[in-house]
Structure 1
Amino acid sequence: MAFGSFDNSKGTTHTMAEINMVPLIDVMLVLLVIFIITAPLLSHSIKINVPQASAQPVQQEPVVIDLAVDAQGQLFWNEEAVSIDQLTSKFAGQAALEPQPELRIRADLNTRYEVLAQVMSSAKAAGLKKLGFITRPADNAASGL
């Protein structure tokens, strides 16, 4: 690196702040040569006759439990009326299945939250892990959009 000038005739003795690029270019050229030499070595492969298999993927229908709750709090398991006590035993039986079914709760707009909380807590206590809610999208005219 050049830090100063040998020309003292001007009377200025300030240092020069220039970077000497020659060593950097030398390192870059050495790396370029190394990569040029090693790149063809990385592309060699061994030819192997691998056996071919044609298997069709297994299509499994997801098991869904539709649980409806009306405005009075009555429960319907796949369109069959059940009580909260029967629901707990049904949840325990379904939680033991593999894969576990998905519980979809469809509640009336005027259903008390207490009923939904009991249903969700009994599903969790039985060990069901997949829980969803079925809703109906709002009408665009009714929402003011």
Structure 2
Amino acid sequence: MGMNVGSGSGGEPDVMVDINTTPLIDVMLVLLIMLIITIPIQTHAIKMNLPVGNPPPPAVQPEVVQIDIDFDGTMMWNGQPLADHAALDSHLQQVAAEPVQAEIHLLPNKLVPYKDVAAVLASAQRIGATKIGLIGNEQYMQ
């Protein structure tokens, strides 16, 4: 009977120099879970002090001026046609000069180009009329 014997060098087996990363990964995962649990939940709420009840109505109702813009770009001031943009500017200057400005309600036709509406808004801003709003927006809803 025979027996297989090594080469006879009698040396130790090669030492493994690689680090075992499994415990390191386990520790990092535990730390990550603890960090996630301990972070407070962020609330995205804004705290506001809102008034309670209905505010009283204003003592004097503001004057309302309605500017209509027709589909071809013609403008009307409270139902009266305006000749051109200079007439609109003079009316807007009168409104802006008042101590309590009148509310300007802008009612464009559904078919009017936006450049005509933008020109009226730009004129109002340039002159200093601040109380302006678009009305009749329900015609655009479908």
TM-score between the two structures when normalised by the length of structure 1? 0.54
* Partner of residue 133, structure 2: 132
**In the TM superposition, what whole-angstrom CA distance separates every residue of 1:56-112 from its partner, at most 9, and x where no partner exists?**
x98312111100000000000000000211001111111010211111100100101
**In the TM superposition, what whole-angstrom CA distance separates every residue of 1:24-83 from its partner, at most 9, and x where no partner exists?**
xxxxxxxxxxxxxxxxxxxxxxxxxxxxxxxxx983121111000000000000000002
- State the secondary structure of the residue aligned to 1:117: helix
Kindly report structure 1 stretches of 4+ aligned residues shifted beyond 2 Å.
136-139
Separation in structure 2 between the aligned mates of residue 138 and residue 74 of structure 1, nearest angstrom: 19
| Superposition RMSD in Å | 2.2
* Partner of residue 31, structure 2: none
- State the secondary structure of the residue aligned to 1:60: coil
**Partner letter of residue 128 of structure 1?**
A
**In the TM superposition, what whole-angstrom CA distance separates every residue of 1:113-134 from its partner, at most 9, and x where no partner exists?**
1111110111011100111011
* Partner of residue 29, structure 1: none
Separation in structure 1 between the aligned mates of residue 61 and residue 130 of structure 2, nearest angstrom: 18
* Partner of residue 3, structure 1: none
2:81 is equivalent to residue 66 of structure 1: no
Q: Cα 1:90–1:58, aligned 2, differ >3 Å: closer, same or farther?
A: same
* Partner of residue 81, structure 1: 81
Q: Percent identity?
A: 26
Separation in structure 1 between the aligned mates of residue 93 and residue 62 of structure 2, nearest angstrom: 18
Structure 2 counterparts to residues 1-145 of structure 1, below 5 A: 59-82=59-82, 83-137=84-138, 143=142
Separation in structure 1 between the aligned mates of residue 135 and residue 101 of structure 2, nearest angstrom: 19
Q: Which stretches in structure 2 are left out of the alignment for 5+ residues?
A: 1-56
Give the deviation of 1:137 after TM superposition. Answer: 2.7
Separation in structure 2 between the aligned mates of residue 123 and residue 137 of structure 1, nearest angstrom: 23
- State the secondary structure of the residue aligned to 1:95: helix
Q: Which stretches in structure 1 are left out of the alignment for 5+ residues?
A: 1-56
* Partner of residue 11, structure 1: none
**Partner letter of residue 59 of structure 2?**
Q
Which structure: larger Rg?
2
Separation in structure 2 between the aligned mates of residue 94 and residue 77 of structure 1, nearest angstrom: 12
Give the deviation of 1:136 after TM superposition. Answer: 4.8
Q: Cα 1:120–1:138, aligned 2, differ >3 Å: closer, same or farther?
A: closer
User: Higher relative contact order by CA 8 Å / sep ≥ 6: 1 or 2?
Assistant: 2
